[in-house]
C-alpha cells in the first residue's frame, strides 16, 4: 500500500535540556491544530521528550552548538515523528531493557525513558548514516 504522507511541521532545537519544554509545546500545538485527541497528543509529546532528552544527555553530551531536528508527519491515519541528530549513534531498537524490579534494587534513576516510548509508540526505527542519525517513531491516532 502506498504511504500517504503529509509533513505537518518541522523545527529544530539546541542541545539543552531547557529546550525540552519548547519541544513539548511545539508538538502539542501542532497536533492540536489537526485535532488529534488529547491522550494521543500527550503520549506523542512524552515520547518525543524522552528521545530528545536521551539525545541531549547521552548522544550529544549537552554540547550547546549541536542541534536536533524534528519533523512531524501525518501518515496513514497516524503521526510519524522523525528526530535527526549528529551525535553518537545509538540504536534504541537494540537497547536491552532492565526490569523495573532490577532498576529499583539498583536504585537507578534512568532506564525508564525508552521503556515508556516502546510502550507508547506503535513502531520505532533508527537509521544510522555517516554523519547523522534519525529516530523515526509512528503512532496511530484518533482525531477528535
Partner 1 sequence: MDITTSKSEDYLILEISGDLDASSSMLLDSAITQAIQEKETNIIVNCKNLSYISSAGLGVFMSYIQDFKDNNIFFSLCDLSEKVRNVFNILGLEKLIPIYNSEADAKAAKHNR
Name the residues that contact partner 1, by CB under 8 A: 17-18, 20-21, 24, 39, 42, 46, 49-50, 53, 56-57, 100, 103-105, 107-113, 115-116, 119-120
* Region for 112 from its dihedrals, namely left if φ exceeds 0, alpha if ψ lies in -120 to 50, beta otherwise: alpha
Query: Residue 139 and residue 45: Cα distance in Å, rounded?
Result: 12
Instruction: Specify the residue, 39 or 89, whose C-beta has the smaller distance to partner 1.
Output: 39
C-alpha cell at 101: 524490579
CB of 112 to partner 1, least distance (A): 4
CB of 36 to partner 1, least distance (A): 15
Instruction: Specify the residue, 3 or 119, whose C-beta has the smaller distance to partner 1.
Output: 119
Query: Residue 11 and residue 106: Cα distance in Å, rounded?
Result: 38
CB of 122 to partner 1, least distance (A): 14
Instruction: Specify the residue, 50 or 80, whose C-beta has the smaller distance to partner 1.
Output: 50
CB of 95 to partner 1, least distance (A): 13
Q: How far is CA 119 from CA 1, 23, 77, in A?
A: 26, 21, 19
Sheet holding 5-14, edge to edge: 5-14, 67-75, 78-85, 133-140, 123-128
Instruction: Specify the residue, 104 or 128, whose C-beta has the smaller distance to partner 1.
Output: 104
Amino acid at each position: 500500500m502506498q504511504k500517504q504522507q503529509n509533513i505537518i511541521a518541522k523545527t529544530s532545537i539546541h542541545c539543552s535540556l531547557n529546550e525540552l519544554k519548547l519541544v513539548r509545546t511545539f508538538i502539542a500545538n501542532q497536533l492540536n491544530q489537526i485535532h488529534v485527541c488529547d491522550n494521543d497528543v500527550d503520549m506523542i509529546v512524552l515520547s518525543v521528550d524522552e528521545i530528545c532528552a536521551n539525545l541531549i544527555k547521552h548522544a550529544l553530551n549537552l554540547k550547546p552548538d549541536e542541534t536536533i531536528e524534528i519533523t512531524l508527519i501525518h501518515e496513514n491515519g497516524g503521526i510519524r515523528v522523525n528526530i535527526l541528530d549528529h551525535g553518537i549513534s545509538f540504536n534504541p531498537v537494540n537497547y536491552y531493557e532492565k526490569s523495573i524490579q532490577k532498576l529499583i534494587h539498583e536504585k537507578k534513576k534512568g532506564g525508564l525513558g525508552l521503556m515508556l516510548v516502546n510502550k507508547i509508540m506503535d513502531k520505532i526505527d533508527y537509521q544510522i548514516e555517516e554523519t547523522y542519525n534519525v529516530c523515526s517513531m509512528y503512532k496511530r491516532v484518533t482525531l477528535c
